[in-house]
Amino acid sequence: MIEYNITGAFLVGLMGAAHCFGMCGGLVGAFSAQIPQAKTGNLLAHQLRFLLSYHLGRLLSYTVAGALVGGSAAMLGHLFEVDSYLLVLRMVAGLMMIATGLYIAKLWGAIVHIERMGKWLWLALKPVAQRFVSIQRPTQALMAGMIWGWLPCGLVYSTLTWAVASGSMYQGGCIMLAFGLGTLPALLTAGVAAKQLANWVQQKTIRLMSGLLLVAFGSHTLYIAAAQLN
């Protein structure tokens, strides 16, 4: 199942570009505006150093979150010796995968409402984030990116359910890392390239095919989990 989850997680990150632009586009612009001007050397290399630091921090947060929830699920299984709980979690993950596919295909938008669950976390982190408003070094950009990774996002929360259902710290981390890598094309590009990507992922055929592929992944996950429960 891990192959399906990693592929699906990457696809969610890649095809969720429109959602990423809406949720994080302003944040990316704010971070980019904080990059100090290069005194000497290549301007593009200077900007990339800061931007990659932001995104490395964000991916680290995703990976840590996936490892934590996957490892916690495994630990609970060992503590309580419950054999069927992971199968139930995989059924939940399958349902979330289907819901995410329907969201990407623009057939059902319930995933967006899940973001409300994480607003309290962002309110707690916001004062910390404000300390990194003035970015002078790549290490500060890395820390800002790590905080950014906890921004409430329905797609992140949906993918985290797959990490939980993996029942493994390693697999959970890999799933969330794959999701983060999928988001990079949308959030690392700028200007014309970003608009072209947004236009591409918004094509009805692309959205529908990607969404239905995720629905197929979710249905397969449900089928396997239900068969193992029986």
Question: Which structure tokens are listed for 158?
Answer: 């949906």
What's the pLDDT at 191? Answer: 46
What's the pLDDT at 192? Answer: 45
Q: What is the pTM of this model?
A: 0.81
pLDDT in tens, 198-229: 667 668 888 888 888 889 888 988 888 888 77
Q: Average pLDDT for residues 49-62, to the nearest whole number?
A: 92
Cα(208)–Cα(230) distance, integer angstroms = 33
What's the pLDDT at 171? Answer: 93
Top pLDDT among 42 and 139 is at 139
Cα(81)–Cα(200) distance, integer angstroms = 47
Contact predicate 217/8, CB 8 Å: yes
Q: Is a pLDDT exceeding 70 seen at residue 69?
A: yes
Single-letter amino acid, residue 211: G
Cα(61)–Cα(149) distance, integer angstroms = 5
Cα(58)–Cα(142) distance, integer angstroms = 8
Q: Is a pLDDT exceeding 90 seen at residue 74?
A: no
Question: Which structure tokens are listed for 208?
Answer: 């529908």
pLDDT in tens, 92-150: 888 988 988 898 888 888 877 776 766 676 677 666 666 656 678 888 889 888 988 88
DSSP string, the chain: -HHHHHHHHHHHHHHTHHHHHHHHHHHHHHHHHHSPPPSSS-HHHHHHHHHHHHHHHHHHHHHHHHHHHHHHHHHHHHHHT-SSHHHHHHHHHHHHHHHHHHHHTTS--GGGGGGGGGHHHHHHHHHHHHTTSS--SHHHHHHHHHHHTTS--HHHHHHHHHHHHHT-HHHHHHHHHHHHHHHHHHHH--THHHHHHHHHHTSHHHHHHHHHHHHHHHHHHHHHHHHHH-
Is the four-CA dihedral 77, 176, 54, 198 of positive or negative sign? negative
pLDDT bucket at 61, cuts 50 / 70 / 90 = very high
Single-letter amino acid, residue 181: L
Give the CA angle between residues 57, 42, 37 to the nearest 5°.
65
Q: What angle do the packed helices 119-130 and 138-148 form, to 10 degrees?
A: 160
pLDDT in tens, 163-196: 988 889 999 999 999 999 998 887 776 544 555 6
Question: Which structure tokens are listed for 2?
Answer: 């891990």
Q: Is a pLDDT exceeding 80 seen at residue 58?
A: yes
